[in-house]
Amino acid sequence: MRQCLLSNLANTLCNMGSICIFILLTGCDHHPEEQAVMQTYQERVANVLDQPIASPTPQTNFPALPALRERLQPTTDLREGLLDILELSECNLIPLIAKRNSSLGKVSSPSQILIYEITFYQRLIECIPILEKNPDTKPETIARLHHIAHVKQQEQPKYLWNALYTGQEIDKSLALNQATLPLGVNNEHPIQNALTSWEYFAQLSQMLKQQDYSRANQMLTDIEKHMEDLYKNPAGTPLLRSLMLLTHYLNTTADVIEARLQRRPLCFNEMSNPKADILKTVFTRFYATTIQPYMATVHRLSEQWFSAHTKIREFVSPPASTRLYDAKVFTRATDISLWNQYINARNRHTQAWQHILSQCNLMPNANNR
């Protein structure tokens, strides 16, 4: 609350320079309702077990998206002189090249450049065999076109990367001023549109990896619709903040349970007692009824996010300067991955509860719920 008041005050004091920027970037509470429920759950468990909470304040801030200059992958410009290769007119390439060389073409968005590159490449590789059969085509022209085709194919991963990870869509998706997903999030939440679009791009990356350019070009007709979905329905920050919030409370609640069991058992001889019954009620009322359904939805949506980006990375590679960020935010194969940290916290939390409930013969089953 105090942070929100500071942020509101900062809006009227922006002429004070850097202090304004700092406060506004700090922002208000990004997860009031979700945190309140999880904090209550954590505190109830700690109270029943007479165990202090070691880390009560969640940390859900993750690094800002690296600067554009670090994300942008340079490509080779081979357009100069292409219009002079008159033979390309036989394959309907001249109008495409002219459009790309126009004033509007030179300021195309990364997604439009991707469309051009894939379309150009498919037409070129279809054109070369035709020109090779033409006795009037000069050998040096054929050699040059083969070189261009080779370079274009090698750089397709860069064009896809730039389209997905250097535009305004990814900036919006990972903007730091967004909140966690709300407790009532479901399949109808707009974020699902963005995740569907990320799956579309994962499929496109597979088509390009398999060099199935016919299907890839068919998919390109929908690219701007999916780009719009990514922009209008930011998915990254809400999902990642939600994962980090869950990770914190799952870990700290497990800390409480594990510390209590190390200090003194809650039950003896698998016999329940009033305190154990209260603990079971806390588990059912707060975790099983509210937090677990929320976690299941966040898990499913986050799995879509990480799965799509993992598939995309089977075709593209992040620049070296962004790989640490990439490993944390987009992939599942590293220890610093937010997904792996959440999975480890979930498993640890589950094991802690299994241990203490089994000790008191209170594990949920068909006859004991």
Instruction: Select from 59, 76, 305, 327 the least CA-distant residue to 170.
Output: 305
Q: What are phi and psi of 234, to 5 degrees?
A: -55, 130
Residues 243, 362 within the same domain: yes
Distance of CA 267 to the CA centre of its chain: 43
**Are residues 63 and 84 both part of a single domain?**
no
Residue 191: count of CB within 10 angstroms of its CB: 20
* Helix H or strand E segment including 309: helix 292-312
Same domain, yes or no: 243 and 352 = yes
Is residue 332 a contact partner of residue 339, using CB atoms and an 8 Å limit? yes
Identify whether 309 is part of a domain. yes
Q: What range defines the domain where residue 99 resides?
A: 76-154
Q: Decide which of 197 and 116 is more confident.
A: 197
Which residues, at least 6 apart from 191, have a Cβ–Cβ distance to it below 8 Å? 181, 185, 233, 234, 235, 238, 239, 301
Check if the beta carbon of residue 124 is closer than 8 Å to that of residue 147.
Answer: no
Whole-number Å distance between alpha carbons of 214 and 212: 6
pLDDT at 59: 74
Say if residue 11 is in the same domain as residue 104. Answer: no
Question: Does one domain contain both 53 and 134?
Answer: no
Question: What are 211-228's pLDDT values in tens digits?
Answer: 999 999 999 999 999 999
**Domain assignment of residue 97, yes or no:** yes
Q: Residue 88: is its pLDDT beyond 90?
A: no
Which is it for the CA torsion 293, 296, 302, 304, positive or negative?
negative
* 344/210 same-domain check: yes
Are 51 and 80 contained in the same domain?
Answer: no
Residue after which a domain boundary falls, among 154, 187, 209: 154
160 located within any domain: no
Classify residue 163: in a domain, yes or no.
Answer: no
Tell me, rounded to whole angstroms, the distance of Cα 279 from its chain centroid.
Answer: 36
Look up tokens 């799965």; give the residue: 307
Helix (H) or strand (E) run with residue 106 in it: none
Query: Based on the domain organization, do 138 and 283 belong to the same domain?
Result: no
The residue type found at 111 is S
169 lies in a domain? no
**Closest alpha carbon to 62 in 322, 244, 249, 194:** 244
Residues 129 and 198 in one domain: no
Q: Looking at per-residue confidence, does 360 or 24 come out higher?
A: 360
Per-residue pLDDT tens over the stretch 279-301:
999 999 999 999 999 999 999 99
Determine contact, residues 283/360, Cβ cutoff 8 Å.
no
Looking at residue 13, its pLDDT comes to: 36
Say if 367 falls within a structural domain: yes
What pLDDT was estimated at residue 21?
Answer: 33
CA 195 → CA 28, 152, 300, distances in Å?
Answer: 26, 29, 11
- Angle value at C-alpha 160, between 155 and 164, nearest 5 degrees: 150
DSSP 314-330: TT----GGGHHHHHHHT
355 is a domain residue: yes
Number of domains into which the chain is organized: 3
- How does pLDDT run across 136-161, given as a tens digit for each residue? 888 888 898 899 899 999 999 999 99
pLDDT one-digit tens code per residue, 166-178: 999 999 999 999 9
pLDDT tens-digit series, residues 59-84: 767 789 999 999 999 998 876 666 56
Whether residue 56 sits in one domain with residue 88: no
Both 122 and 84 in a single domain?
A: yes
pTM of the model: 0.86
Mean pLDDT, range 344-360, rounded to an integer: 97
Distance of CA 139 to CAs 107, 148, 177, 222, Å? 34, 14, 58, 38
Amino acid at 284: T
Query: How many whole angstroms separate alpha carbon 362 and alpha carbon 369?
Result: 9
What are the φ and ψ backbone dihedral angles of 368, each rounded to 5 degrees?
A: -145, 85
According to DSSP, residue 31 is labeled: -
Q: 300 lies in a domain?
A: yes
Same structural domain, 338 and 212: yes
